[in-house]
Amino acid sequence: MSTIFSKIINKEIPADIVFETDTILAFKDVNPQAPVHILIIPKVEIPKVTDIIVKEHDGLLGEMIDAANKLAKEMGIAEDGFRLVFNCGDKGGQEVYHLHLHLLGGRQMKWPPG
């Protein structure tokens, strides 16, 4: 089922887009949890991590990691460090069921996360 992220992909609702290719999109999180908080998503609708078929999606996942590294460098957080997060399912804290990689940085991260 389509989510609000499909509307962002289709430019039906606005987002602060920071990177885009034919296959992925990255935009600023509307509710940032760190000075840098970007969501990196595939354009294809994959609801959650457990729907990933590695043989089919490994290229896409690689592109998402490449984008995270590129954006971390551009945002000046690559050297100090950052966090990449996939929330999966209700107990994983997932709210939007369109796969997304959180790129968080610009402050000291804590462990364990809440």
Catalytic positions: 100
> What is the amino acid identity at position 36?
V
Q: How many CB atoms lie within 10 A of CB 91?
A: 7
Q: Whose CA is closest to 102, among 48, 40, 30, 23?
A: 40
Q: Which is nearer to ligand DGP, 13 or 44 (CB)?
A: 13
Q: How many CB atoms lie within 10 A of CB 42?
A: 21
Kindly indicate which of the ranges 52-60, 74-82, 90-98, 104-112 contains the residues binding ligand DGP, using the contact rule CB under 6 A. 90-98
Choose, by CB under 6 A, the member of 69, 96, 106, 109 that binds ligand DGP: 96
Binding mask 21-60 for ligand DGP (x = CB under 6 A): ------xxxxx-------x---------------------
Strands 82-85 and 101-105: antiparallel
Q: Which is nearer to ligand DGP, 78 or 96 (CB)?
A: 96
Token couple for 35: 């000075």
Binding-site ranges for ligand DGP (CB under 6 A): 4, 15, 27-31, 39, 87, 93-96
